[in-house]
Amino acid sequence: MTQRSARRLDGIGTTIFTEMSALAARTGAVNLGQGFPDRDGPPEVIARAVTALQSGANQYAPGPGIPALRQAIARHQQRHYGIELDPGRQVVVTTGCTEGIAAALLGLVDPGDEVVVLEPYYDSYTAMITFAGGVRRPVTLRAPDFRLDPDALRAAVSPRTKLILLNSPHNPTGTVLTRAELESVAAVAVEHDLVVVTDEVYEHLVFDDHQHVPLATLPGMAERTLTLSSAGKSYSFTGWKVGWATGPAPLVGALLAAKQWLTFTSGAPLQPAVATALDEHADYPADLARSLQERRDRLVAGLGEAGLTPYVPQGTYFATTDISHLGWASSRDFCWALPERAGVVAVPLEVFYDDPDAPGAGRQLVRWAFCKEVEVIDEALHRLAGADLSA
Ligand code: GLN
């Protein structure tokens, strides 16, 4: 039969997160796959959304977002990082960071432009680079350390490079890029006059003594960095899909020009609630990070006891383990067998690489989410401890 779907969808299947959550639902397995918390954010913030729903915030919000939220986002950037923004021209509300990524790439990348992207990459990055007609040039964060190699970054840049797509704290590896690593990105960006789009949705979810440094705060970077974040991870409202983009007016404007044709505008009643979260619950994300750190430690210890030798993440919701000693041909095979073997779902890292068989890449790596209640983590660990996990 004639191919009905557009060529741009060739090679783009169902996102692994949908696939794995469906697998968990079908098998009744404990879902440590898709990264969403099983406890909602502050009740007062939910109450604010209810009030908004009941008091007329039910028609289109302004395209760039309601002024109150744009101002709250600007205050957030000021309070945490000393970044000064004009909420009228330098802040846009998006439908989650995922729309921010889509609008940024559609607004900034021409067909044939190269996009340098950290690998393993979040799958929407590659889909949207493809939709924009761009060509991805991955720079791999290699196991076991998952650090950014400045030489590899430099080697990935060519005269056709348009932008660098960064993500720190990094999903799925849990790497928090150091100031020195970010300086190497800044040096390359300035030298080659590149834009950097940086996904910082896990900005507050960092552990131990690690610190999130926004790339936009480095010398020479404010004028070329488009920063994306969201309320989903910082406030445990992943289903609200409220994110934002901040940066220099021309870059934010390009994103907005594309965004207006994607969703036009984002969910009106949730915007005042997110403004309340940012202004009145400014400590919530740090408390969440402390609680996540405990759950990270619990998961990491338990995975170790189950023979899975985890890498300890510096930030995010996720820990990664190497499974090469178990004899599976791939992390995908392992993850598909896991519900039956152990009643648990995890995410195979191999789907986030151009070449998962390269040294230090993801054919044998598996991601486990710890943004779950302690009892859920314990149940998963109990199941894993009693299971035969070898191929
Ligand atoms: N960010 C979440 C994760 O990495 C998933 C988000 C999604 O499913 N699009 O698990």
Q: From the alpha carbon of 98, which atom of ligand 1 is closest?
A: 9
Ligand 1: which residue has its CA nearest to atom 9?
17
Kindly write down the DSSP assignment for every residue of 163-213, as one continuous string: EEEEESSPTTT-----HHHHHHHHHHHHHTT-EEEEE-TTTT-B-TT----
- Å from CA of 123 to ligand 1 middle: 9
Ligand 1: which residue has its CA nearest to atom 2?
35
The dihedrals phi and psi of 76, each to the nearest 5 degrees, come to: -60, -45
Regarding the beta carbon of 35 and ligand 1, being less than 6 Å apart is answered yes
Tokens of 49: 């959304």
284-305 and 374-385 are packed helices; what angle lies between their axes, rounded to 10 degrees? 10
Three-state helix/strand/coil letters over 314-359: CECCEEEEECHHHCCCCHHHHHHHHHHHHCEECEEHHHHCCCCCCC
The string of pLDDT tens digits covering residues 21-51 is 999 999 999 999 999 999 999 999 999 999 9
Regarding the beta carbon of 81 and ligand 1, being less than 6 Å apart is answered no
Last residue of some domain: 239, 262, 280? 280
> Which pTM was predicted?
0.96
Which helix (H) or strand (E) is 51 found in, with range? Answer: helix 43-54
**pLDDT > 90? residue 1:** no
The mean pLDDT value for 384-390 works out to 95
The string of pLDDT tens digits covering residues 55-72 is 999 999 999 999 999 999
Domain that includes residue 219, residue range: 43-280
In a domain, 391, yes or no: no
The string of pLDDT tens digits covering residues 261-303 is 999 999 999 999 999 999 999 999 999 999 999 999 999 999 9
CB 188 within 8 A of CB 151: no
The predicted pLDDT at position 13 comes to 86
The answer on 265 and 332 residing in a single domain is no
Give the domain CATH number at 108: 3.40.640.10
The mean pLDDT value for 154-171 works out to 98
- Å from CA of 26 to ligand 1 middle: 19
One-letter identity of residue 41: G
The predicted pLDDT at position 319 comes to 98
Which helix (H) or strand (E) is 135 found in, with range? Answer: strand 135-140
- Å from CA of 158 to ligand 1 middle: 30
In a domain, 1, yes or no: no
Regarding the beta carbon of 362 and ligand 1, being less than 6 Å apart is answered no
- Å from CA of 239 to ligand 1 middle: 11
Query: What is the band of 207 on the pLDDT scale with cuts at 50, 70, 90?
Result: very high
- Spatial separation of the C-alpha atoms in residues 245 and 9, rounded to whole Å: 26
- Å from CA of 35 to ligand 1 middle: 5
Last residue of some domain: 232, 263, 280? 280
The predicted pLDDT at position 309 comes to 85
